[in-house]
Chain A
């Protein structure tokens, strides 16, 4: 299996622009998580899905952030409009039930100028 695949790996954009990050979970995994990592705050859970349904979005910082999972093999995290404080590495992770552990993608490094 190719693992969790994220794109783009790097994104540099200007404040106010829309940013879309993409994730393909491991086939057969029915849980998908979006995390954000910064030096100041470490790893923070933004939102997670089960069977394509958002279960907990309490970590989404504000309405500028939205996430979708239209099918079992694809999810997006969108920031509109982006701000410099959104600069971080965004990770997608997936897992199956029964405690098999969490598998992370390589991350998308976002820089908002």
Chain B
């Protein structure tokens, strides 16, 4: 069964700290992996998309890495800010270009000012 797991489920850090969120998947035959952010009462916002042939993607203070062989991805957030507080979800696509995603349960991040 294809499953996606995120650890930790919740994380609280002081402002300015660098942090890493983890995502693991059971089936390494992925098409791509996507990291999303969800604010309370809102939809999901795509942060980074990594194709299966890529090792990492960067956007501003965010860096996502992908290791297919070990079934892992990490999202690195540099110099965290209170505005980064949200739930972060990773999602894996096995459906080719269809982007049929399997989501992890998310990590709830709180950045304390």
Contact = CB atoms under 8 A, between A and B. Distances in A.
Given A42-B106, A43-B103, A97-B97, A102 B89 contact: no
A95 to B, nearest CB: 5
B31 A99 contact: yes
A91 B42 CA distance: 10
B20 to A, nearest CB: 21
B61 to A, nearest CB: 19
A110 to B, nearest CB: 14
25 contacts: A31-B98, A31-B99, A33-B100, A42-B104, A42-B105, A42-B106, A45-B100, A45-B102, A55-B98, A95-B99, A97-B97, A98-B97, A99-B32, A99-B97, A101-B34, A101-B46, A101-B99, A102-B44, A102-B91, A102-B99, A102-B101, A104-B36, A104-B45, A105-B43, A107-B43
A90 B24 CA distance: 25
A102 B103 CA distance: 12
B58 interface: no
Given A33-B99, A43-B91, A98-B97, 12 more contacts: A33-B100, A42-B103, A45-B101, A56-B100, A91-B43, A99-B31, A99-B32, A99-B49, A99-B99, A102-B99, A104-B36, A104-B43
A37 to B, nearest CB: 9
A38 to B, nearest CB: 11
Interface centre among B43, B44, B103, B106 (most CB of A within 10 A): B43
B10 to A, nearest CB: 13
A90 to B, nearest CB: 11
B49 to A, nearest CB: 5
B50 to A, nearest CB: 10
Nearest to A107: B43
